[in-house]
């Protein structure tokens, strides 16, 4: 079975490799990422993950299993996407400082006439951050292409006091759930043979 990752994220590729699902091909999605206002973070990531997968599906070929996902950071129902600039990243980090928030990752897996769509929510708690810590982190350049302006797998690890849930989901792809979903598709196929 050919596995196609519908994402240019090196983290997602690495997670799939760790789960024994190394992608045979990477086809980044160019799907529109605008969503109607008023959606919950859970609804948002599900819609975007599915839209990305459906967009890549025709390019991947009919015998490819396509995995797509979307991740957002949410404080309450406020979604914190990728920061627009340094000031926006600073604002997000100050918002998250000393608080608990959720990271939502939606995953869409499609193969032939099968599809799986789910969302993983992981709670993350930040330490109380000083202005100096925030500025030092901003100086690394790491926050600018990350939802919520931080990367738990990088220098941003010093921001995080604890997590309750799937570490890999915070990185952008819940490895164990994806592995089990792909395994279920494989079992269904074998049972049909």
pLDDT tens digits for range 103-140: 999 999 999 989 999 999 999 999 999 999 999 999 99
Confidence of residue 81 (pLDDT cuts 50, 70, 90): confident
Total residues found in the chain within this entry? 193
- Predicted confidence at residue 190, as pLDDT, reads 72
Beta-bridge partners for 119? 106
Mean pLDDT of 30-47: 93
Q: What is the pTM of this model?
A: 0.92
Question: How far apart (Å, rounded) are the C-alpha atoms in residues 69 and 97?
Answer: 26
Phi, psi of 36, rounded to the nearest 5 degrees:
-60, 150
- Predicted confidence at residue 193, as pLDDT, reads 62
Strand 64-75 and strand 100-111: the pairing is antiparallel
- Predicted confidence at residue 45, as pLDDT, reads 96
- Predicted confidence at residue 1, as pLDDT, reads 84
Confidence of residue 40 (pLDDT cuts 50, 70, 90): very high
Confidence of residue 154 (pLDDT cuts 50, 70, 90): very high
Mean pLDDT of 64-74: 96
Domain ranges of the chain: 2-192
pLDDT at 167 over 90: yes
Nearest to 44 by CA among 77, 11, 13: 77
Catalytic (active-site) positions: 70
Mean pLDDT computed over every residue of the chain: 94
H helices within the chain, ranges in order?
A: 10-18, 41-60, 86-96, 131-139, 167-171, 175-192
pLDDT at 187 over 90: no
Class of domain 2-192: alpha beta
């Amino acid at each position: 079975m050919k596995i196609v990752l519908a994402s240019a994220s090196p983290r997602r590729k690495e997670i799939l490799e760790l789960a024994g699902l190394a992608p045979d091909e990477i086809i980044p999605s160019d799907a529109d990422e605008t969503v109607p206002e008023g959606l919950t973070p859970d609804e948002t990531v599900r819609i975007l993950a599915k839209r990305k997968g459906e967009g890549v599906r025709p390019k991947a070929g009919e015998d490819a299993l396509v995995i797509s996902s979307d991740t957002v950071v949410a404080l309450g129902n406020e979604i914190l996407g990728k920061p627009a600039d340094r000031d926006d990243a600073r604002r997000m980090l100050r918002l998250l400082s000393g608080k608990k928030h959720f990271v939502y990752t939606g995953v869409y897996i499609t193969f032939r006439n099968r599809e799986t769509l789910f969302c993983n929510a992981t709670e993350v708690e930040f330490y109380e951050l000083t202005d100096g810590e925030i500025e030092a982190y901003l100086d690394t350049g790491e926050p600018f292409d990350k939802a919520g302006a931080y990367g738990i797998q990088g220098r941003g690890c010093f921001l995080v006091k604890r997590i309750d849930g799937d570490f890999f989901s915070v990185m952008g792809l819940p490895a164990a759930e994806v592995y089990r979903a792909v395994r279920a598709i494989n079992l269904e196929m074998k049972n049909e043979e």
